[in-house]
Amino acid sequence: MKKLMHCIICLLLLAIAAKAEVKLPRLVSNGMVLQRDQNIHIWGWADVGEKISLTFKNKTYTTKASRDRRWAVNIEPQQAGGPFKMLINNIELQDLLIGDVWLCAGQSNMEAVMNRANIKENYGQIIKNSNYPLIRQFTVKKDMAFKPVQDVASDKGWVAVNPQTVLDFSAVAYFFAKDLYEKYKVPIGIINSSVGGTPAQSWVNSESLKHLPEYDKIAQKLKDTAEVSRILNAHLLKSTAWYKSIKEDDLGINEKWFLTTFHQEENWEEIQNLAQLNEKITMPKYGSMWFKTVVDVPEHLAGKAANISLGMMHTEDETYINGEKTGSINSGYTERNYAIRPGLLKAGKNTITIRLISPTTGIGFNPKNNYQLKFGNGSIPLDKPWKFRFGIETALLPRGNGLSLHSPTAYYYAMIKPLADYRIKGIVWYQGESNIPKPEEYQALLTSLIEGWRKDWQQADMPFLYVQLANYCRTPVEPTISNWALLREAQMKTLKIPHTAMVVIHDIGEKDDIHPRNKLDVGKRLALAAERLAYHENIVFSGPIYKTAKIQGDQVYVSFNHTGTGLKSSDGKLNTFEISADGKNFVAAQAKIAGKQVVVWNDTITKPVAVRYAWADSPDGANLYNNEGLPASSFKSN
């Protein structure tokens, strides 16, 4: 009987303990950085009526969980410092800092981490010296939702910077935070919430899309949980059938092309370099394609462990060496660096085989890839011609009736709204590439995003910093419509919203890589903007921004904001200015600096009506700066 009573008491105690459990959001955890000089908002969930006791810096705050099981405590503004501890009922949080917290969001150029090969190789010494325990990042795990959710997910929570952890930091966010930390010597927290390939409409709430019926219709439809489930199930069936066909009907799989010999070699085409693929066949192509080359390994390296470096490929690869699978990655943003086991490489000719599988984005290779075998301090280039052949060519895998990376509201509800109770200093936004097809929508979208997020954080004047698109794509010989220039213009026009700043980077991108390696200068320019907007420094933080154009005779006098101590060109003359007699057709113009203005003319046009600058996808040669070294934004006068 006593034993039975003991068991009953234990069960009751366990039930009471379970009932009293307090749940915290992922952000409220060990190592977090709390925003200084604002009320610190701490919240969580517990059973209805549960008493909550929070102790911080020798002061205790109490509350109860409400009917919706939510509780919250506001701590009065605090000065920068730490580390501190916080006790919430029986939960002890350690190593807490008070400083400045920035939400860094957007698509792949914000998401790109320091460990990415084309970034890592640029900043080896910086990475080696990255010992900043007071700079920390919280990476929000990628997720989609179409209604408000309670919390975000994170694989690692708050992580402090050191030479190992910095490799997983957003490169732009890290350089931004590093500059601010070195200037102000206060802890800096980064909340990194970004997803590659996403457009602005997936980062706003449904109310923000009322003025865009096409997106609003989809957003309303996706609020229906049953409809989302139906779409997902239908897409799963299509996806399963697509991959089943790729596996079962691929001639290369059936004939084992991954083995070391070429099968029916006469049916394979040849290219010298994989970057030439789009010159040989019309793109995009979907399905699977096989690529083969050979590499000569000298006797003294035969049998040794090595790595094969293949750079980035669109979507999924399977890579084989001498018939043995060496690695596979399903990502268009990840460098392929596969370990080669000892004994696999032989003296003489070795066969490298790559199978690319592409359901939605088309088969392709990054033109900057460097293909090689690496042995310790040495390497062997894969510089012999490649043979290629389709395993199966098929239609693209259709997306799920609007449910995709591009779905309106998808990431707002999953990765932004749940963060809004956490106090922050400001927002950094780097996005726009995925809105290139419809640049005319972008100003309205970005405006809605800024206003909506400020409303979420209940701070109408919250600093909002954003990055204008970099230069990308080759400039055509003949004038053409440039969606990149149009979207940059939309970004520039969004500056009419108070407490915003735009960083111009069309001078530091790479026209053959949508993910340029120079993230340091992007971070530095963002930090300058933050110093002005958020820290109220009296500094020049922007390059020249178009203000007005006045026509005097056959010349146009262009005035700018943010001229700093004066205008300059990087090589003594001004390039990429164009002038028009009808506002539609533009021709190259001469231009010169006259004080804080630029005078533009063309001897063949006597009555100009419009002028534009750096108006191209990749405005090669654009060289108008202020004396502080910050580039002018591209613009069109009307």
Listed in sequence order, the DSSP H helices in 132-224 are 171-184, 213-221
Confidence of residue 267 (pLDDT cuts 50, 70, 90): confident
Quote the tokens at residue 563: 């001229």
Cβ–Cβ < 8 Å for 423, 459:
no
Instruction: Give the span between the Cα atoms of 431 and 618, in whole angstroms.
Output: 17
pLDDT at 476 (0 to 100): 56
Half-sphere exposure of 284 (CA within 13 A, CB side): 17
Pairing outcome for strands 426-430 and 386-394 = unpaired
Instruction: Give the span between the Cα atoms of 610 and 497, in whole angstroms.
Output: 25
Instruction: Give the span between the Cα atoms of 612 and 481, in whole angstroms.
Output: 13
Instruction: Give the span between the Cα atoms of 254 and 233, in whole angstroms.
Output: 30
Q: Residues with Cβ < 8 Å from 215, sequence gap 6 or more? A: 201, 209, 408
Cβ–Cβ < 8 Å for 546, 558:
yes
Quick one: average pLDDT of 444-449?
Answer: 97
Closest CA to 601 of 587, 584, 614, 615: 587
Quote the tokens at residue 381: 């280039």
Confidence of residue 480 (pLDDT cuts 50, 70, 90): low
Q: What are phi and psi of 486, to 5 degrees?
A: -65, -40
Instruction: Give the span between the Cα atoms of 177 and 103, in whole angstroms.
Output: 11
Cβ–Cβ < 8 Å for 252, 393:
no
Enclosing H/E stretch for 448? helix 442-456
Amino acid at 254: N
- pLDDT(402) > 70: no
Cβ–Cβ < 8 Å for 578, 587:
yes
Q: Residues with Cβ < 8 Å from 248, sequence gap 6 or more? A: none
- pLDDT(208) > 80: yes
Q: Decide: helix, strand or coil at residue 136.
A: strand
- E strands, 108-155, in order: 132-139
pLDDT tens digits along 114-131: 988 678 888 999 999 999
pLDDT at 561 (0 to 100): 97
- Asked whether the CA dihedral 395, 397, 401, 404 is positive or negative, the reply is negative
- pLDDT(10) > 50: no
Instruction: Give the span between the Cα atoms of 101 and 130, in whole angstroms.
Output: 19
Closest CA to 446 of 498, 415, 490: 490
Cβ–Cβ < 8 Å for 275, 369:
yes
Enclosing H/E stretch for 21? none
Residue 83 preceded by cis peptide, ω within 30: yes
pLDDT at 17 (0 to 100): 44
Quick one: average pLDDT of 417-439?
Answer: 97
pLDDT at 128 (0 to 100): 95
pLDDT at 2 (0 to 100): 47
Angle, CA 109 vertex, CA 105 and CA 115 arms, to 5°: 105
Confidence of residue 18 (pLDDT cuts 50, 70, 90): very low
Amino acid at 345: L
Confidence of residue 396 (pLDDT cuts 50, 70, 90): confident
**Does pTM surpass 0.75?**
yes
pLDDT tens digits along 363-381: 888 877 889 999 988 899 9
pLDDT tens digits along 48-85: 999 999 999 999 999 999 999 999 999 999 999 999 99
3-state secondary structure 255-286: CCCCCCCCCCHHHCEEECCHHHHHHHCCCCCE
pLDDT at 484 (0 to 100): 96
Cβ atoms within 10 A of the Cβ of 312, count? 23
Quick one: average pLDDT of 451-478?
Answer: 89
Instruction: Give the span between the Cα atoms of 245 and 536, in whole angstroms.
Output: 60
- pLDDT(260) > 50: yes
Confidence of residue 261 (pLDDT cuts 50, 70, 90): low
Angle, CA 143 vertex, CA 213 and CA 310 arms, to 5°: 110
pLDDT at 371 (0 to 100): 94
pLDDT tens digits along 163-200: 999 999 999 999 999 999 999 999 999 999 999 989 99
315: left (phi over 0), alpha (psi -120 to 50) or beta: left
pLDDT at 117 (0 to 100): 67
Quote the tokens at residue 74: 């506001």
Average pLDDT, the chain: 91
DSSP 349-391: EEEEEEEEEESSS-S-B-TT---EEEETTEEEE--S-EEEEEE
Please compute Rg for the chain using Cα positions.
28
Quick one: average pLDDT of 520-543?
Answer: 98
